[in-house]
Amino acid sequence: MTGSRKRKCRTEGWTSKKRLPSQLPSTPVLSHSNTRPRFAYLRDPFTVLSGGRSTEEVMNNSLYRRSSKITYSKQCFEVKGRLGHGSFGDVFAVRERDTNNLYALKRFNEDRRWSDALREVRNFELLPKHPNLLQLKLAWEEWEEVEEKRIMYVQTELCIGSLDQYIRSFDLSELQVLYIMRDVLKALDALHQRGLIHCDVKPENILISTKGFCMLGDFGLVFDMAKDKAGSDGDSKYLDTAMWGTNMPKPSMDIFSLGLTILELATKEELPKNGELWADLRHGILPENFVPKFTKLSEKLQCTIRRMLESDPSLRPKASELLEESFLEQLDETKRLPFKRLEYISHLLSPPVNKPRRSERLQIQKIINGTVTLPSSFSTPPNSSNSSPVYDSNRKVHQPSTPVRRPVTSVSRIRGRPGIRIRPLFPSSC
């Protein structure tokens, strides 16, 4: 019996020896570009990707608590409103709690390829410091416990809006178009000197800064001529067909896209997405609906647009050559017409109003209604038949030479905290 049992145990591979921890098989983990072990996020819930600061330096922010389960973005930023939405994700206007400065915060969706989001962050690092290029403040990724996924955020300067949003509400004069053209040419010249091609110049990616000039943004398709092996096509409405036969974009591609953008802004006509009219613009033929407004433009602007839309890329001027044109050089920045504020952004950029406390608002309302008597510091007008004080903001009230504000003493029992509180009956603004 005993021998048979031992033989049975040997055949089934049983043993009475304990395995050491080093001999235990490791738990299999799925390897995927968009997945990491969940406990890795618990050890590293926040990682800085770009912005010139280390993760430790950012986490030492006085407002950030590492022990809290609330993410860095929710602890350090207050969302003021959503600026835009697209396939990439959402863009929010936020206020940084530490400095009270306003920024734009781009939140990438998880369904977008992680490599595309990382590429845009990398492209920000390639950009030169230039006032007409949107600058990166900080980029990071964090793990959200509630949604159980990692999110990437890109913090940049806050702008009034894009030209695509602006032209839907307001018209642009030819002088404004010239200033916009010069701003974008300066941005393209700075990129081309670094060997970078934007590949997606259009009104939607031309942003209006809070200082009144234009900046070039959205660098997700930027092509590095020194390192990248293939580029990506941008919006079909502004696409240059000369680049269809090659995967290597050239600076002339940006010039063509800018030429179509200026044509659309100056004539206030929407560009075709496809069809015969779309092909005519690529062969130097102006559609009939563009002709009446195009002929009203100045000859210099007409000639410049034609040069930028040459079907042969080698005949198109460079950005630096266009900036040397006399009609662009002579533009005086002090005479630039300001942009009008869009409705959805106006309340975000306006300074906050200090609202009086609810108890003070109720007291003021009672005084206006005449249910409460004013203190002695608020005297009645002279020669008044009515003995009760009158509160009229438009009427001059006789005040003593040395007015005295008598504080009102009241017992505070708010939220179970008894104590004596002395404060004026009216706010200082009254």
Q: Are 262 and 183 in contact (CB under 8 A)?
A: no
> Across-strand partners of 81?
93
List Cβ neighbours of 150 (8 Å cut-off, separation of 6 or more): 36, 41, 110, 141, 142, 143, 144
List Cβ neighbours of 121 (8 Å cut-off, separation of 6 or more): 49, 50, 136, 139, 152, 154
Task: Give the three-class secondary structure for 286.
Answer: coil
Tokens coding 39: 């406990």
Catalytic residue among 189, 200, 218, 254: 200
Q: Is 366 annotated as a binding residue?
A: no
Q: Maximum Cα–Cα distance for the chain, whole Å? A: 125
Tokens coding 253: 């591609």
Q: Are 411 and 421 in contact (CB under 8 A)?
A: yes
Q: Are 374 and 389 in contact (CB under 8 A)?
A: yes
In angstroms, rounded to a whole number, what is the distance separating the alpha carbons of residues 305 and 295?
12
Burial class from Cβ neighbours inside 10 Å (0-12, 13-18, 19+) for residue 47 reads middle
Residues 153, 155, 159, 163, Cα dihedral to 10°: -40
Q: Are 49 and 58 in contact (CB under 8 A)?
A: no
Give, as one character, the DSSP assignment of residue 402: S
Is residue 200 among the annotated active site residues?
yes
Q: Please, what's the b/e burial string for 115-130 (b: 16 or more CB within 10 A of its CB; e: otherwise)?
A: eebbbbbbbbeebeeb
Q: How far is CA 24 from CA 9, 11, 19, 27, in A?
A: 21, 21, 7, 9
Residues tagged in the binding site annotation for ATP: 106
Active site amino acids: 200
